Amino acid sequence: MGRIVGIDLGTTNSVLAVLEAGRPVVVANAEGQRTTPSVVGFSRDQELLVGQAARRQLVLNPRNTFANLKRLIGRLWQDLDEASQAVPYTIRANDLDQVRVLCPATEREYAPEELVASLLRKLVDDAAVYLGEPVEAAVITVPAYFDDAQRQATRDAGRLAGLRVERILNEPTAAALAYGLDRQRSQLVLVFDLGGGTFDVSILRIASGVFDVKATSGDTQLGGNDFDQRIVDWLAEGFQQTHGLDLRRDRQALQRLLDAAEKAKQELSGTQQTLISLPFIATGAAGPLHLETSLDRSTFEGLCPDLLDRLLRPVQAALRDAGLAPEDIDEVVMVGGSSRMPMVQQLVRTLVPRDPCQSVNPDEVVAIGAAVQAGILTGELRDLMLNDVTPLSVGLETIGGVMKVIIPRNTPIPVRRSDTFSTSEPNQSSVEIHVLQGERQMAADNKSLGRFRLAGIPPAPRGVPQVQVSFDVDANGILQVSAMDRTTGRRQSVTVQGSSNLSQDEIDKLLAEAASKAEDDRRRRLLVDRRNRAQTLLAQGERRLRDASLELGPYGAERQQRAVETAMADLRDSIEEGDDRSIERYAGQLEEALYGLNRRLSAERRGNDGNGPLGAPLQGLRNTLGTLRDELFAEDDWEDDWDRPAAQERGRRRERPADDPWGRF
C-alpha cells in the first residue's frame, strides 16, 4: 500500500500530517504554514484561491469567498440553524432542499463538498511537493457526531479531490490516538473537542496500544463561530443604537465584524480586556462612521451562558452512556482552538475533577492522530488497535411513524444487526424501508437517511410475509442497509444515499469535469512554461554571445555563434507567431547551439588557463572582462534568477526531478 496522509479537515483551519520514519509529523503548506485556513474563493477574474490567499480576500470579496463550509457539508437546508445560515456569501436550497453555494464570479453554484474538495486538493498538492511523490490516499477526520450523510459528503469531497479515502476517522478518536501513542498505562480519557464549528466529546480506555472508544456525544452545530457571533451581535447592536444602522446588512461590514470578533475572542483568552477598532465601517448622513470600543472578558462571558450550557449535556450524556462517573476519568484532553477559552476550561473543571492535559497542541493533535491511523492501515505502526463506536442510533420507520432502533448509539463498529418485519396491509406487495438516524422516538424527529423499496412480495394476509432488514455500519461509520423477503429470497441492498448528498451521477459528472479541466489546466501550464523557458533561453543566448565576442572576438567562434544567432532569430519569430510547436522545436535547436558554444568557450578557457607563457596577462585580462561583465549584467542576471528558485525548489522537494531537461545550464 502506498503512502496515506492524515487530514484534519477543520471548520476554520485544516492540517495535514504524515508518518516519517514511524513518527507523525505535520507538513507545512506551500506558504510555510502548519495550518491552512479552510477557506475557498474565486478572485474577480475567476482564479481559484484556497487557504490563506482566499482568507485574505474575505473582507474585500465576501460574496466569492467561502468559509465555514464544514457546517454545510452533507446537510439539508432544513437542518441548518440560524447561525450556520448567517454567512456573508449567498447560500440557498435547491429543489431537493440541498444546500448550494452561489458564486457570482464564476456564475455557478456549488455543492459544499465540491468546494471542500478544492481545499483537500491544495493540502495534498502541497504535501506532494514536500514528500516528492504524489499523494493519492488519505485518512480524513470528521466530528464524531457527524451523521451518515455528513460522513458520506466528506468522503465524496475526498473522491472529488481525486483521493482514495481510506478511512473516515472521528476527530476525538484521532486526538486520543495521538495522545496515547506513547502511553502504556491503562487509563480512561475524556476528549473534549471544541473547534470552530463543531463540538465532540468522547470517552476512551487506552491500554497498551489498544484504544477502545466507550461513548461519544456532541453537537455538530456548536463551535467557536457561535461565540464570535455573540460578539458580532453585541457590536452591531451597540452601533445600531448609536447610529441607527445595522452593520450586519452590509456584507463587507459583516465580514470585518466577524474578523474583529474572532480576534477579540482569542485575545480575551489571554487578557481581561481588548480594544476593537473598525474605522470607516459605514457611512452616515454626516460622513464616515467608525466603530471603536473595548470588550472585557466578563462582558464576553455574559454574552454566552446558553452556549456554555450546550456544552454540558454532551459531556454528561457521554459519561452516562459509558457507565462512568466523572471521578473515573483519569485524564481530560482538550482539543480544538476554542477549548482555549478560559470559560470553557472552567466549565470542564466543574464537570470532571481533573486539570486538563496541557501536553497536546489542540490545533495539530487531530491531524497527528489521523497520520497514526494511516500508519495502522499501512501496517507501518504495529501493536496499535482502535475500536470505535457509532455516534447515533440507526433504525427504520415502522407503523405509526415510530422509529425502531436496529443499532443503538455507541455500539462498537464495524457492526451488523438484523431484524424481521412484516406487512401492515393484506396482500401488500412491497414495503418501503425508511432509514433513520437519531435518538428521538418518532421518525419525523430524526434525520432521514433515505428510503428504498423491496417489491415482489407474494400476496399474503397482513403480518405473514417476513422481511429481514440488515444494517451494516463499517469502520468509517457509514451505513449499508439490505432487505430480504424470506419467502422468495428476493434481496435489495443499498448504501443509503442521504438526500442531502450528491448522487453518484453528479459525482461522476463532477469528476469527469475535473479530469477534463485538469487536462486543460495542464496543457495551459505546459504552454506557459514552454514560453517562459524559451524567453529564458533567449536571454541566455544573448549573454553567451556577448561572452563569446568579449572572450574570443566578434568572429572567434563563428560557426557556433552563427548557429546560436540563427536559432535565436527562429525562436523569436515563432514566439511572435504564437506557434507552440515551432517554439518547442527552435528552443531545442537553440539549446543545442548553446551547448556547442559553451563547449567552445570552455575549451578556449581551458587552453588559456593561466599556465602558458601568456597565462598571467591573459588571466588578468579575463578578470577585468569578468568584472566588466558582472557590472554590465548585474541588473538582469537571468541565469541566476533562473537558477535560484529552481535550486530552492529542488531543496524543498528533496529530490531533483529526473526529467528536468533544463538542469544542465
Amino acid, single-letter form, for residue 500: S
Among the residue ranges 9-17, 45-53, 101-109, 352-360, the one whose residues contact ligand AMP (CB under 6 A): 9-17
* Cα–Cα distance measured from residue 547 to residue 570, given in angstroms and rounded to the nearest whole number: 21
**By rule CB under 6 A, what count of residues binds ligand AMP?**
18
The residue among 42 and 145 lying less far from ligand AMP, judged by its C-beta, is 145
Instruction: Write down the least CB distance from residue 11 to ligand AMP, Å.
Output: 5
**Can you read off the three cell numbers belonging to residue 117?**
474538495
* Cα–Cα distance measured from residue 658 to residue 221, given in angstroms and rounded to the nearest whole number: 49
Q: Which of 4, 5, 9, 12 binds ligand AMP (CB under 6 A)?
A: 12
* Cα–Cα distance measured from residue 330 to residue 495, given in angstroms and rounded to the nearest whole number: 39
Instruction: Write down the least CB distance from residue 65 to ligand AMP, Å.
Output: 17
In order, the DSSP letters of 162-210 are T-EEEEEEEHHHHHHHHHHTT--S-EEEEEEEE-SS-EEEEEEEEETTE
- Contact present, 261 and 251 (Cβ < 8 Å): no
Q: Which of 27, 40, 135, 341 binds ligand AMP (CB under 6 A)?
A: 341
Beta strand residue intervals within 328-414, DSSP E: 331-335, 385-387, 394-398, 402-407
Tell me if 13 contacts ligand AMP by CB under 6 A: yes
Binding-site string for ligand AMP from residue 361 to residue 400, where x marks contact by CB under 6 A and - marks none? --x-------------------------------------
Report which secondary-structure segment, H or E, holds 467.
Answer: strand 467-473
Give the residue from 31, 20, 5 showing the smallest Cα distance to 120.
Answer: 5
* Cα–Cα distance measured from residue 346 to residue 58, given in angstroms and rounded to the nearest whole number: 33
Largest CA distance in the chain: 118
Q: Which residues contact 623 (CB under 8 A, 6 or more apart)?
A: none
Residue identified by cell 437546508 is 77
The residue among 6 and 541 lying less far from ligand AMP, judged by its C-beta, is 6
Instruction: Write down the least CB distance from residue 251 to ligand AMP, Å.
Output: 20
**Can you read off the three cell numbers belonging to residue 449?**
437517511
Among the residue ranges 11-19, 112-120, 174-182, 561-569, the one whose residues contact ligand AMP (CB under 6 A): 11-19
Tell me if 162 contacts ligand AMP by CB under 6 A: no
The residue among 148 and 171 lying less far from ligand AMP, judged by its C-beta, is 171
* Cα–Cα distance measured from residue 140 to residue 166, given in angstroms and rounded to the nearest whole number: 8
The residue among 144 and 433 lying less far from ligand AMP, judged by its C-beta, is 144
Window 308 to 337, contacts with ligand AMP (CB under 6 A): 336-337
Q: Which residue numbers are catalytic?
A: 8, 70, 171, 193
Tell me if 338 contacts ligand AMP by CB under 6 A: yes
**Can you read off the three cell numbers belonging to residue 609?**
588557463
Instruction: Point out which residues pair with 5 in neighbouring strands.
Output: 138
Instruction: Write down the least CB distance from residue 33 to ligand AMP, Å.
Output: 13
Tell me if 52 contacts ligand AMP by CB under 6 A: no
Binding-site string for ligand AMP from residue 264 to residue 293, where x marks contact by CB under 6 A and - marks none? -xx--x------------------------
**Can you read off the three cell numbers belonging to residue 268?**
480575551
The residue among 202 and 338 lying less far from ligand AMP, judged by its C-beta, is 338
- Contact present, 211 and 369 (Cβ < 8 Å): no
Instruction: Point out which residues pair with 454 in neighbouring strands.
Output: 431
Q: Which of 10, 172, 218, 395 binds ligand AMP (CB under 6 A)?
A: 10
Tell me if 11 contacts ligand AMP by CB under 6 A: yes
The residue among 149 and 341 lying less far from ligand AMP, judged by its C-beta, is 341
The residue among 331 and 363 lying less far from ligand AMP, judged by its C-beta, is 363
Among the residue ranges 4-12, 122-130, 476-484, 488-496, the one whose residues contact ligand AMP (CB under 6 A): 4-12
The residue among 362 and 450 lying less far from ligand AMP, judged by its C-beta, is 362
Report in angstroms the alpha-carbon separations of 234 from 132, 229, 251: 49, 8, 17
Binding-site string for ligand AMP from residue 188 to residue 227, where x marks contact by CB under 6 A and - marks none? -------xx---------------------------xx--
Query: How many CB atoms lie under 10 A from the CB of residue 259?
Result: 16
Tell me if 143 contacts ligand AMP by CB under 6 A: no
Instruction: Write down the least CB distance from residue 263 to ligand AMP, Å.
Output: 9
Q: Which of 147, 219, 262, 591 binds ligand AMP (CB under 6 A)?
A: 262
Tell me if 429 contacts ligand AMP by CB under 6 A: no
Give the residue from 46, 11, 5, 42 showing the smallest Cα distance to 27.
Answer: 5
Q: At what angle do helices 224-243 and 251-267 cross, to 10 degrees?
A: 120
**Can you read off the three cell numbers belonging to residue 315?**
459531556
> Where does this chain bind ligand AMP (CB under 6 A)?
10-13, 195-196, 224-225, 262, 265-266, 269, 336-338, 340-341, 363
